[in-house]
Every structure is written in C-alpha cells, then in structure tokens.
A and B are shown apart, each in its own frame.
Chain A
Amino acid sequence: GAGVSQSPSNKVTEKGKDVELRCDPISGHTALYWYRQRLGQGLEFLIYFQGNSAPDKSGLPSDRFSAERTGESVSTLTIQRTQQEDSAVYLCASSPPWTDYGYTFGSGTRLTVV
C-alpha cells in the first residue's frame, strides 16, 4: 500500500483481556518499529524489527507485551491481560534500509482499557 496501515484504528477492551494490534508496513521497508504515546507524554519506543535480525525488544514495558513480524511484512503487537495503564495510542512505523531515521508512521491504534 501507499502508507503504513494499522488496524483497528480504535479498540476498547476490558481489563484483563488480550488484544492484538496489526501493522502493515510500506512494501520494501525492512525496518519496522512500534511506539506508544500515553496521554500527555512523548512517543515511547517499544520494539524494533530490522530484516531477519533478532528484534530489539528493549522497550517492551513488561512480559505481557510481545510482537511478531513475518519476514518483512505484517507485524502484530499483542498485549496480554490488559491493564488500564496500557491505554495509549500505539503507533507503528517503517523505514527503508537506506534511511536511518526516515520513519513513515501509521495513524495509530487508540487502545482504551476499561
């Protein structure tokens, strides 16, 4: 597609339930990133995939968070046993191999845990 696509755009879930967020990067972009933005805060790095290398998971806040990426395509971010503090906008971005920081962000998934 023309841009980074994220689904769903909005998700309301009950505390304790699991959620899956999906990201379709731009075709040919080898790097894929997940960030989140909680209310009033900056974007917080979660995880980074680069080609076939092991992902950089250093930003995942707890073991309830995990992410997978199939080759150089779709990624899913899974949050198990959601808590109210997980409420945030989850942003996915991708970038081509020749650009270090030229991220293209998706529109995000707004997650609300009630």
Chain B
Amino acid sequence: DQQVKQNSPSLSVQEGRISILNCDYTNSMFDYFLWYKKYPAEGPTFLISISSIKDKNEDGRFTVFLNKSAKHLSLHIVPSQPGDSAVYFCAASYKEYGNKLVFGAGTILRVKS
C-alpha cells in the first residue's frame, strides 16, 4: 500500500519556466511533509519541508504548497535551472511514527537549456 504517491515518473521543463512536482498521500495522520532531491550516484539531500499547520512554505526559488483536504502537496521551482535536473522525492511522517519517513517513488525532473 503506497501511502505517498508521485504519479508522474518524469517531467521535462524549459530553463526559466516553472517546474511543478506533485505528490498525493493517503494517510490522514501525516502532519509533516518534505521534499528531497537526488543526483545520480549521490544520496538524497533535504530541500524543503512543510508542517500541516501551514499551507505554504517558501525558500528562494522553491515553494511547497499543501492542500490537506485534497491530501496533496506540490513543489514549485521558479525559475527552473539546468542544475535542478534530478530526482525529487516527496516524503511524509507524523509524530507517533517517530522519526521515520514514508517516501514516494520519485519524479525525474529534466530542465532543458
């Protein structure tokens, strides 16, 4: 049972445009959500997070939006740069689950110059 789903395996965007990566979840207990970025042959690196008490968190070019009623979150990257090309993982957790994270399968983002 996939509790965190990233339904788009890949996304291709032109440099300078907006990249929107989507994530859906099924467990209503999740109260903390994160995005990780992964380059080939490297481990994932933390990008941005959001608590369920918020609906938006922004950090530079990266913004995460959370829609609790739809159990949906998205990562917006504006403007997209070729160096953003990577695999993006959505992850979620809740307090009673401890420090463990449930990850989606990832979306490959390609930013074309």
Contact = CB atoms under 8 A, between A and B. Distances in A.
Contact of B98 (A42, A44, A48, A108): A48
A93 B43 contact: yes
A41 interface: yes
Contacts of A91: 43-44
Contact of A40 (B43, B102, B105): B105
A114 interface: no
Contact of A43 (B41, B45, B89): B89
Given A101-B93, A107-B43, A42 B104 contact: yes
Interface string A44-67: 110010100000100100000000
Contacts of B98: 48, 56
Interface residues of A, number: 26
A43 B103 contact: yes
Nearest to B4: A42
A6 to B, nearest CB: 8
Q: Which of B34, B91, B98 has the most CB of A within 10 A?
A: B98
Contacts of B100: 33, 45, 48, 56, 59
Contacts of B41: 107
B101 interface: yes
Nearest to B6: A42
Q: Which of A31, A43, A105 has the most CB of B within 10 A?
A: A43
A111 to B, nearest CB: 15
Interface in B77-113: 89, 91, 93, 98-106
Interface string B34-53: 10100001111110010000
B62 interface: no
Contact of B42 (A40, A44, A107): A107
A95 interface: yes
A106 B99 contact: no
Contacts of B49: 101
B51 to A, nearest CB: 11
B48 to A, nearest CB: 11
Given A42-B105, A43-B44, A105-B43, A100 B89 contact: no
Contacts of B42: 107
